[in-house]
Every structure is written in C-alpha cells, then in structure tokens.
Structure 1
Amino acid sequence: MTMPNGRALLVRMVVSIALLALVMASLVAGIWGVFYGLLSIVGVGNPATLASVISVCLLGSIAALEFTQVSTVERFAGATPVDDDAEPELYRTVTAVAAMLDVPVPTIAISDSRAPEAMVVGYRPDAIHLVLSAGTIDALDADALEAVIAHELAHVKNRDAMVMTAISVPVVLAAGLRTRLPEPAGKGAASIVIVPLLFVSNVVWIAGRTITAVLARVRERAADRAAAEVTGSPAVLATALATLDDRIEATPTRDLRAVESVSSLSILPLEADPGSRDIRLGPEGDIEPSYQWFDRLKWRLFTTHPPTEDRLETLRSLERERRLESERDREERD
C-alpha cells in the first residue's frame, strides 16, 4: 500500500465537500418540506414563504446554540498553557517545526493525562494551541516527539480546523435538531411534525457523519505525509505512532473515557476499535453478542482516523521510497 499523493487526497477532499453540500441541501429541503406540507394541509396562505422563514429561523437558532455552547478543547483535555521558561526544550522543538512549516508558533498547553493526547486547537493559524499530554511527552524520545508535533502543525498549515468546522455544519445542525425534538409518543397532532423532522435529522446526521469521517481520514493522511516530508524521516513518525498506539492499549479504560470528547482531534483515536475486541457469550463462550456487529459498523463508518496499521505501512513504504531515491542520487554522484 502506498500513501495517497497530493492529487488523490485533493480529489477525495473535493468529492467529500460536494457530498456534504448535498447533505446540507437535503437537510434544508427536508425541514422546509415538512413545514410546507403542514402549512398547505391547514390551508395557510403562501405556505412556501412561511415555510422558508420557519426553516431559516429554526436552523439559525440551532446553529447559535450549538456553536456558542461548545466548551474549549483545553478544558475537556484538562490542559494548562505553559511558557518557554517552564518547557524550554519543548518550546525550541515547537518553534523549529513551526518555522519549517511556515506557521506561527502556537501556545503550548500540557495536560496531566496519561492517555497519549496530541492535538491542535483553534481556527486561525495565529491563535493556535498545541495540546500535549504528559503521557505523550513521557512516551516519546526527542525525534519522535518532533515528528508528532510536525503532524499536528501540518494540520495548522492545511487549515484543517477551519475546514472540518465548516464541513461539520450539517452534522451539527442535524444533531442539534434531533436532540431538541421531543419524543413523538403522546404528542398527538404534534407528531405530524416531530416524526418527519426526526427522520430527516437522523438520515442527515448519519450521512453527514459518514462523509465527514472520510474527509477527516484524508486530512490525517495528508498531515502524516507533510510531517514525514518536514522531518525527512517517515520511519520516525511511524515509530512515534506505534509507540503511542501501544500506550493507548496500556491506558486504563477509565482514563480513556475521560478524554473521549477530544478523541477525534488527537493524533490517534483515544478509544478502542470494537473490531479488536472478540467478546463471546454463552456457556461455551462461542456466541457473539448481537450488538457487536453494529459496533464494528459504526466504528468503520464514523471513525475519524485511518487504521493505525495502514498509516504505519504507508509511512514505511514512503521511507523505502526515500531510501531508494537517496541511493540513486548517491550512485549518480559517484
């Protein structure tokens, strides 16, 4: 397996964004259609205009609630900003990597968590926080930590936070709508509106989450590639990812649950792949739980990171290519 090149990644990104635009249009059309149908049934004059006004007001209010009530990732991760006096070596490394990627030096925040977290937070490149956990810093040597920092700052270079926030709009709106709708049971005539709105929001949420996850995985691969090019050693980043993956496996479940909310932002997902757990029930231990296949399906659809083994293999392949090119250059010079 080879790492997708820049053009392939761009094609995937464009297709994903186009599909998400279609999902957003479907959400708006679905909500409008529900209210248009209801207003037409009750005989309201000019139902199309009134349905448009109601749909815009509904989506606008949900957007205001969802995007203004989000707590900072630092608070979720329990991280505290540190200055260069407290972490001089770390600051030197971050400053050097930021210069190589031509991005502003971020504020560094460190959490006491033993879970191996590494992420960047913020929308604008000039107001980014790099969040690292004590578990990550302790697990990696200087070169591996530099590779991880390069991966995270590559997200800044690519403006991934801004991109992912923008394309997540239909998912956030659909989730906000469905969580604010009451249960239709016992609601009488109101169920005529509640049931179709629940259907629309659920379909849009599932489709949007799936497409957003695909794009997130593309962005992770792009950041891997950029970090490998900046550090000049794909093998070092591969070693770092393997080390952090082992650290995740060794981290107690209760500690991973504490950082689940920031899992999608970290360099590796901070929850276990259901496919890696072979749960068996019954007297003979030979019965697979009925929910296990569903957990595996959700993981495959919604996970925001490519499988770690795939990332390791593509980095190793890139390392082999780099060595072959180096040998050819040496032979040409000789």
Structure 2
Amino acid sequence: MPSRSPSLIAGMFAAVLGLGIVSVVFLVGVWAVLYGLFSFIGVAPASHFAAGSTALTIASVGYLEHRQIDTIERVADAERIDREDEPALHELVTRVATRLDIPVPTIALSERQAPEALVVGFRPGNVHLILSRGTLDALEGTAELEAVIAHELAHVKNRDAMVMTIVSLPVVLAKGLATRIADIESPGWTAVVIVPLGLVSTVVWGVGKGITARLSRVRERAADRVAAEITGSPAALASALKRLDRDISETPNRDLRDASGISSLSILSLEPEEPEKVMLGPEGDTEPSYWWLRTRLHRFQRWLFRTHPPTDDRLDRLAAYERRQEGRAPPERQS
C-alpha cells in the first residue's frame, strides 16, 4: 500500500480547514445581509427569517447549479469503448486497478488531439477513465501510459472526486449566487440587498477558489506519489509528464479552449500560458487596448487559481523518489 507523506497530509488539512472557514463566512455573510434587511423593514423575529431565507437561497442556487452542469464525458467529447475495441488498453487499466485494489473503471476515448487524461465519478465503483487520442499518440511505450493511468486511478483510490466535490461546494454556491446577481437588470431598491450579497459572494468565491486550487495541487502531488510507488518507476511518470507538457505547449490555443472545461481534472493543466492575441485594425497590425495589463492579469489569475503544481516541481519530486528507490537496499530473499 502506498505510503502517506506528512507534508501532503498537512497541506490537505490546512486547505480543508481554510475552506471550512470560508463556508462559515459565506453563510454568516448572507445571513447578516438578510438580517439587516428584515430588521430595517420591521420583520420579527428577524434572525429566524434571515436563517430561513439563507437556507432557501443556498438551496435554490445549489439546485440551479446542479441542473446546468453537463456531464464531463460530454464536455470531453469522449465515447465509451469495450474490451474488444482496445484489448491492450483494457488489460493495462485492469492491471493498475488491481494493484490499487479498486474496481476496474469504464474507459472512454476522445478523438481530440489535446493531451487529456482524467477520471470522473463520485464513487470508486462508478468511475470513468477518459483518455484522448492526443495522449495516446504523445506517450511512448507501455511504461509511460501505465504511469499516466496509475496517476489517474490514484485519484480514485484517494477518493479525490468526492473530496473535491465536497470542499468546492461553497465556491460553486458563491459563484452561482454572484452570477445570478450580476444578471439582474435595474434592481431598483433591492440594490440595498443585492450589492452586499454580490460583494460577499465574489469575495468568498475568490478566496475559496484560491484555497480549492491549493488543495487540488496537493492532491495532484499525492497522485504522483502513489503512481510512482505502484508502478515502481517514477522516471516513467516523469517522462510521460514531459511529453504531455511539451504537446500542450504546442497545441493551438483554440484546441486548448475546447478542452478548458476539463482542465482542472486532467493530469496537466490544459489552459494556455498566455492569452491569445488577436490583432485589430484594417491591416491587422493594431495591438488590443491595454494588452500589457490583460497579459499580467491573466498571469496573476493563473498563478492564483493554478490547479496543478508546476511541471518542473513535479519532475523534481519524481526525481527525488527515483533517487530514494535507487538508494534503497533490495530485500533479502528467503532461502
């Protein structure tokens, strides 16, 4: 069974604690705004009405957010395949799943060339492994593909889908509330409620998303560690990450935009490092206004909300795992 790193455990605990605080701040903030409104108009008891309205508001936003979320397979444009379609791939996935002591996932393939590799599913028994044709083409040898599959199935073993779904709930709710408030035209007197609610939601969304991104980075490092131990070859995963990272950097921004909906779930971020620059003017030689500012804001946003550790950092950690494996004396054989 793969070992647990104390630093990874500490990072997960800190992120979950921070998100718990953010959740409390969000609920208290919404309650305080509604309490102020009911107190002003003379509704009593204001605290009870505020609590009920807060619960109703959160439940309504949660329901609307749940209804509008498409399935990941549809976003990834992937189709399920049978064992007869890709026998070697099925055998490899089955072998890795057996090592991790988890059910064999359903496999789905996408014909997109952007290097995608992810798992979706709330419970280990209902997991889909999604790979793109770009990933299969980019990797060389069975060892690299096995390492990528091991990384993704390590997320299943660690129940990352369940963890990230639960901890991201306040972020989803805050974003949903802020979006719906922003869509209101001519709010009139209700601005006294809408403006404070919008401010609370936006602040909670920003802080919560930053903490969630940190937790996601921790979970990615944990999956790297499990994959390295399960396969016994940190170098294979490092080689795979290098190839996929190179292919992503060479993928046109248009293709990366198509895959952006699953970027946070894939083995590497599928978001472009720089925003796409579209020149303006009749001759196409005019730079967009304040391009320098847009570029810096894009970089800051990527740094703040980065869901994956930098690839170089992951490679350094895998190299350290490799050195520890090489320095470990082999167990003595029993005669």
TM over 0.5: yes
Q: Distance in 2 between matches of 1:78 and 1:184?
A: 33
- The one-letter amino acid paired with 2:305 is F
The alignment status of 1:313 with 2:316, answered yes or no, reads yes
What's the CA shift for 1:312? 0.8
CA deviation vs aligned residue, 1:162-215 (integer Å, no higher than 9, x gap): 000000000000011011114677432111011100100000000100000000
Q: How does 1:1-334 map to 2 (within 5 A)?
A: 6-140=5-139, 141-182=141-182, 186-274=186-274, 289-325=292-328, 328-329=329-330
- The one-letter amino acid paired with 2:29 is G
Task: Structure 2 unaligned segments of length 5 or more: list them.
Answer: 278-284
Contact 2:182 2:198 in 1 (8 A): no
CA deviation vs aligned residue, 1:118-161 (integer Å, no higher than 9, x gap): 00010000000000000111111211000000000000000000
Contact 1:101 1:157 in 2 (8 A): yes
Contact 2:19 2:211 in 1 (8 A): yes
- The one-letter amino acid paired with 1:53 is G
Summarize the Cα distance change of 1:5–1:125 in structure 2 as closer, same or farther, 3 Å threshold.
Answer: closer
Contact 1:184 1:195 in 2 (8 A): no
Task: Structure 1 unaligned segments of length 5 or more: list them.
Answer: none
What's the CA shift for 1:320? 1.4
3-state secondary structure, aligned to 1:103: coil
Q: Distance in 2 between matches of 1:291 and 1:117?
A: 27
Q: Distance in 2 between matches of 1:184 and 1:306?
A: 37
Cα RMSD over matched residues? 2.2
Q: Distance in 2 between matches of 1:109 and 1:78?
A: 9
What's the CA shift for 1:291? 2.5
Q: Distance in 1 between matches of 2:206 and 2:156?
A: 28
Q: Distance in 2 between matches of 1:321 and 1:256?
A: 36
3-state secondary structure, aligned to 1:105: coil
CA deviation vs aligned residue, 1:1-30 (integer Å, no higher than 9, x gap): xxx961111111111111111101111100
CA deviation vs aligned residue, 1:268-294 (integer Å, no higher than 9, x gap): 00012249x9xxxx99xxx97022222
Moved more, 292-301 or 258-267: 292-301
- The one-letter amino acid paired with 1:162 is M
Q: Distance in 1 between matches of 2:182 and 2:228?
A: 49
What's the CA shift for 1:68? 3.1
What's the CA shift for 1:233? 0.6
3-state secondary structure, aligned to 2:193: helix
Summarize the Cα distance change of 1:105–1:5 in structure 2 as closer, same or farther, 3 Å threshold.
Answer: closer
Q: Distance in 2 between matches of 1:183 and 1:73?
A: 26
Contact 1:170 1:208 in 2 (8 A): yes
* Count of residue correspondences: 320
What's the CA shift for 1:254? 1.2
Q: Distance in 2 between matches of 1:111 and 1:329?
A: 41
CA deviation vs aligned residue, 1:213-236 (integer Å, no higher than 9, x gap): 000000000000000000001000
Give 4+ residue runs of structure 1 displaced > 6 Å after superposition: 330-333
3-state secondary structure, aligned to 1:289: helix
Q: Distance in 1 between matches of 2:20 and 2:320?
A: 35
Q: Distance in 1 between matches of 2:16 and 2:142?
A: 37
What's the CA shift for 1:76? 0.3
Moved more, 158-167 or 39-48: 39-48
Moved more, 66-75 or 213-222: 66-75
Contact 1:184 1:190 in 2 (8 A): no
Q: Distance in 2 between matches of 1:159 and 1:186?
A: 45
What's the CA shift for 1:69? 2.5
- The one-letter amino acid paired with 1:48 is S
Summarize the Cα distance change of 1:99–1:185 in structure 2 as closer, same or farther, 3 Å threshold.
Answer: closer
TM-score computed with the length of structure 1 as normaliser: 0.91
2:282 paired residue number: none
2:281 paired residue number: none
Q: Distance in 1 between matches of 2:185 and 2:55?
A: 27
Could you tell me the percent identity over the aligned residues? 49
Q: Distance in 1 between matches of 2:134 and 2:202?
A: 37
Moved more, 183-192 or 259-268: 183-192
Q: Distance in 2 between matches of 1:206 and 1:224?
A: 27
3-state secondary structure, aligned to 1:119: strand
Summarize the Cα distance change of 1:106–1:5 in structure 2 as closer, same or farther, 3 Å threshold.
Answer: closer
Q: Distance in 2 between matches of 1:216 and 1:22?
A: 18
